[in-house]
Amino acid sequence: MCRNGVGAYPKPQSIDGWYSSMRLFIDFVPVLVWALLAIALVAIMLLASWVLRPHILQNSDKTSSYECGEEPVGTAAVAFPYSYFLYTVLFVIVDVMGAFLWLLSVSPLRISEVIVWQTFVFVVLIVLGIAFALHMLPQTLLDGKETLRLYRESKAAREQHDSGVQV
């Protein structure tokens, strides 16, 4: 962005006249070139395989599935178990967590004590969710039996204390 002398930001001395290093977008043009090269690589591989393949008609008998001599009816799609979807959700959760942690890792704040405790709480909360999804939390904790047991123990201790005081 060209600044017409609005602030006191010093213009860096550029080597050749037309390249200005103040604009972020120009710094990322190599990334764009790399992405285009990757797309071109995939396209060339697919094109090469298409050229080298033997060409068969789409609807001929050679490409249809074999059903012991009967005519195949419908597609061969299998019912996918729904529980596999959970892994993708877990990936998105971990991705977001990674983005937050990466932001913290490039700043000098990561060694201050308050921030370390905040990071600990953040990671523990998300790991709790992942542990729940992957079956790693004890069932008694989830049912509330642990809290029930603790409540009963504390109630018994309180009654003992009260009866001891009265006697």
Partner 1 sequence: MLMQEFEALFEEVEFVVIAVVVLLLAYLALEHREIVYSVFFFGFMAASVAGFYLLLEAPFIAGMQIAVYTGGISALIIFGVLLLPRAQGSSLEVLQTPRMRRIGMILSATVMTLSAVLALVFPWSQSFPADRPPIAQDLAGLAAWLWGEHGIYVQLVALMMLTAVIGSVAILKMEKTEKLSPLKDRPGLGSRGKENEGASETKAHDEEHQDAKEAGTQ
Partner 2 sequence: MIPLSWYLVVAFVMIGLGAYGMVTKRNLIRILIGAEIMGNGVNIALVAFSLYNPVFSFTGQGLIILVISVTAAHTALALVLMLMYQTRYSTVDLGEPVTVEARKSD
Under rule CB under 8 A, residue 130 binds partner 2: no
Show the tokens assigned to 102. Answer: 């990466």
Site string for partner 1, 40-79 (x = CB under 8 A): -------------------------------------x-x
Segment near partner 1 (CB under 8 A), from 45-53, 59-67, 101-109? 101-109
Which residues are CB-contacts of 21 (< 8 A; sequence separation ≥ 6)? 12, 14, 27
- Nearest CA-CA partner of 100 in 112, 109, 87: 109
Cβ distance to partner 1 smaller for residue 48 or 142: 142
Do residues 26 and 19 touch, judged by C-beta distance below 8 A? yes
Quick check: helix, strand or coil at residue 98? helix
Q: How far is the CB of 106 from partner 2 (least distance, A)?
A: 14
Picked from partner 1, partner 2, none, the partner binding residue 54 (CB below 5 to 8 A depending on kind) is none
Do residues 104 and 115 touch, judged by C-beta distance below 8 A? yes
Do residues 22 and 12 touch, judged by C-beta distance below 8 A? yes
- Burial letters 99-114, b for 16+ CB under 10 A, else e: eeeeeeeeeeeeeeee
Under rule CB under 8 A, residue 71 binds partner 2: no
Interface residues with partner 2 (CB under 8 A)? 1-2, 82, 85, 88-89, 92-93, 95-96, 99-100, 103
Interface residues with partner 1 (CB under 8 A)? 1-3, 6-9, 17-18, 20, 22-25, 28, 32, 77, 79-80, 82-86, 88-93, 95-100, 103-104, 106-109, 114-115, 118-119, 121-122, 125-126, 128-130, 132-135, 139, 142-143, 145, 148
